[in-house]
Amino acid sequence: MTQNNDAVSTKNYTIASFFGGVGGIDLGFEEAKKFSTVYINEFDKNAQETITINFPEVSLDRRDIHEVNEDEVPSTDVVVGGFPCQAFSIAGYRKGFEDERGDLFFELLRIIKYHKPKVIFIENVKNMVTHDHGNTFKVIREALTLNGYYIKWKVINAKDYGNIPQNRERIYITGFLDKNAFDEFEFPNKVELTNGLDTVIDFNTKVDDKYYYRQGIQPFYDKLEEAIISQNSVYQWRRQYVRENKSGVVPTLTANMGTGGHNVPLILSDHGIRKLTPRETFNIQGFPKDFKLPEISNAQLYKQAGNSVVVPVIKRIAENIANALELAESKTKIYNTIEMSNKNILIYVDMKSRFEGESFVQAYFDEVSEANDFARTKEIPILSDEEYLKLVKRDVSKCFYSLQEK
């Protein structure tokens, strides 16, 4: 979790982290034992407190990413980040990055373009794939491939890949400069969920009274008492009724679960009906027991947990990234060389489903006709933007090219 410069192996890959939150991505990579975070950029003051006490030796940049100059960021092997999902048009993006500088993804891309790390790793909400009818992800995918990265993406559920009892689906994007590493990398396989609710929630110990719901305090308490009857389920108050999550896992934690309303997970403890404690929400994200929580409001702690990542999932992906890098080191490196100013660029896309795929620049051509001829010989169609967006809507599997004309 924390840095110990004397103990860090010289084989460790270095990380620069953006939109760092409380360091969940960094922690997952460090638990893979092959990575060391040296720089974290995080603008939120409360999250900065959590980072400071858990990563005391890491350089914490507290500025808004817009204020960070590229040359102020250390050159590292890996750049990671999970940015808020924002809409931007394909047409606007293709007019030039300058038009989109206000979008946080392009701020991250600005750093990536300058430093050209071996690996990029991005985490985001599952709906990024379909956000703005598919435009958003198309822009992100093309921007990364056009800057020389071979990328793979997949939507992964924590309960299926992290052995964590939470129903949490997120998209993970990995990008490699070296095609050998890209070829070696695969996302981890599913694992059996053996950790039950009692591994992350303490049903037995009496906690502070403020976490309990009581007769006469909550006007809807009678409905809670009638419906919340099992310690094998997590419940939610949905304004008019109680929803039981019968799958034996916690519903997706949200950033506003500490503000009341219908986002608060409820349990039946040995001492009554209560909401989760902040520590339990961090447990449900797979943070270790010794991860320190600062003395800030519970609402902020709930927000931090809800905005964070499932650490064991990150760890498993990071282990596969390290393995791919190590296997590729013995081979002749294969890089994309982008000549965007004077070439037509053919981008290969393999959509295994709406939520999984890979992409990279296939070839460069002086004339569009040459690109069309090449695609015909490969028997792979070139799709227009409109045809691609229809694919996303229909959720089909297809290999195709997209063409960036000069």
How far apart CA 141 and CA 54 sit, in angstroms, is 33
Among 189, 185, 187, 172, which residue's Cα sits nearest to residue 326? Answer: 185
How far apart CA 99 and CA 126 sit, in angstroms, is 26
The active-site residue out of 1, 8, 68, 85 is: 85
Exposure on the CB side of residue 233, measured as CA atoms within 13 A:
12
What are 257's two structure tokens?
């679960």
| Strand pairing class (150-157; 169-176) | antiparallel
- Angle CA(187)–CA(192)–CA(195) in degrees, nearest 5? 115
CA distances from 289 to 78, 113, 208 (A): 27, 37, 19
Please report, as a single letter, which amino acid is at residue 300: Q
Residues 336/341/342/346 CA torsion (nearest 10 deg): 50
Active site residue 85: yes
Residues with Cβ < 8 Å from 20, sequence gap 6 or more? 26, 40, 41, 42, 47, 51, 81
Among 64, 48, 60, 57, which residue's Cα sits nearest to residue 294? Answer: 48
Neighbours of 84 (CB within 10 A): 11
Active site residues: 85
